[in-house]
Structure 1
Amino acid sequence: MSKYAKTWWGQRFIAALEGFTDSGRLARGRSYSTDNRIKQWLLQKGKVDAKLRGNTNPYYGVYKEPTYKVSVQMTHLSEVQWQKIIQRLSQRASFIARLLLNEIPENIEAVFAEAGVHLLPKDYRDFKVACDCPDYEVPCKHIAGVCYRLAGQLDQNPFLLFEMRGLASEKLLRELANSSLGKVLSDAKSNATVELMPVDSFYTRPVLTELPQEISLKSFWQGQQPLPKSIEPSQPATIPAMLIKKGGDFPGFWQKQNSFIEVMEDFYLRMRKNTLKGL
Structure 2
Amino acid sequence: MSEREWWVLQWLDLLEKYRFKKRLERGRNYAREGNILRIDFEGAKVTAQVQGSADEPYFLWIKLDAFSEEDWSYVIQSLAEKAIFSAQLLAGEMPQNIEEVFIANGLTLFPFSLSDVHSRCNCPDPKNPCKHIAAVYYELADRFSEDPFVLFQLRGKTREEILAEIRKIRQQNGEEMTEISGEKDSIAADVETTPSQKLTVEDFWRYDQPLDSDLVNLKTETDQTVLEMLGGFPLPSTESQAVKQFLEQIHKTIQSEIVHQANP
- TM-score, normalization by structure 2: 0.62
Change (3 A) 1:115 1:125: farther
Q: CA deviation at 1:4?
A: 10
What's the CA shift string for 1:112-159, capped at 9, x where partnerless?
Answer: 011111111211243111111111111111111001001101011001
1:156 aligns to what?
A: 146
2:114 counterpart letter in structure 1: Y
Q: CA–CA distance in 2 between the matches of 1:95 and 1:181?
A: 15
Q: CA deviation at 1:76?
A: 0.6
Q: Is the 8 Å Cα contact of residues 90 and 163 (structure 2) preserved in structure 1?
A: no
Q: CA–CA distance in 2 between the matches of 1:163 and 1:72?
A: 12
1:142 aligns to what SS in structure 2? helix
Q: Which of 97, 100, 103 pairs up with 2:93?
A: 103
The reply to whether residue 139 of structure 1 matches residue 164 of structure 2 is no
Q: Is the 8 Å Cα contact of residues 71 and 130 (structure 1) preserved in structure 2?
A: yes
Q: Which runs of 5+ in 1 are unaligned?
A: 56-63, 184-244, 249-260, 266-279
2:113 counterpart letter in structure 1: D
Q: Is the 8 Å Cα contact of residues 5 and 152 (structure 1) preserved in structure 2?
A: no
1:102 aligns to what SS in structure 2? coil
- TM-score, normalization by structure 1: 0.58
1:177 aligns to what SS in structure 2? helix
Q: Is the 8 Å Cα contact of residues 89 and 95 (structure 2) preserved in structure 1?
A: yes
1:187 aligns to what?
A: none
What's the CA shift string for 1:8-47, capped at 9, x where partnerless?
Answer: 1111112223323411111111012246311122113121
Q: CA–CA distance in 2 between the matches of 1:92 and 1:182?
A: 14
2:16 aligns to what?
A: 18
Q: CA–CA distance in 2 between the matches of 1:165 and 1:19?
A: 22
Change (3 A) 1:43 1:22: same
Q: Which is helix-richer, 1 or 2?
A: 2
Q: CA–CA distance in 1 between the matches of 2:63 and 2:31?
A: 16
The reply to whether residue 94 of structure 1 matches residue 84 of structure 2 is yes
Pairwise mapping of residues 1-279 of structure 1 onto structure 2 (< 5 A)? Answer: 6-34=4-32, 36-55=34-53, 64-180=54-170
2:81 aligns to what SS in structure 1? coil
1:46 counterpart letter in structure 2: A
Q: Which runs of 5+ in 2 are unaligned?
A: 174-232, 240-264
Structure 1 residue runs of 4 or more that deviate by more than 3 Å after TM superposition? none
What's the CA shift string for 1:35-73, capped at 9, x where partnerless?
Answer: 631112211312111111101xxxxxxxx4341111111
2:109 aligns to what SS in structure 1? coil
Q: CA–CA distance in 1 between the matches of 2:172 and 2:146?
A: 21
Q: CA–CA distance in 2 between the matches of 1:90 and 1:34?
A: 38
> Number of residue pairs matched?
180
Structure number with greater Rg is 1
Q: CA deviation at 1:95?
A: 0.5
Identity percentage of aligned residues = 35
Q: Is the 8 Å Cα contact of residues 90 and 96 (structure 1) preserved in structure 2?
A: yes
Q: Is the 8 Å Cα contact of residues 86 and 166 (structure 2) preserved in structure 1?
A: no
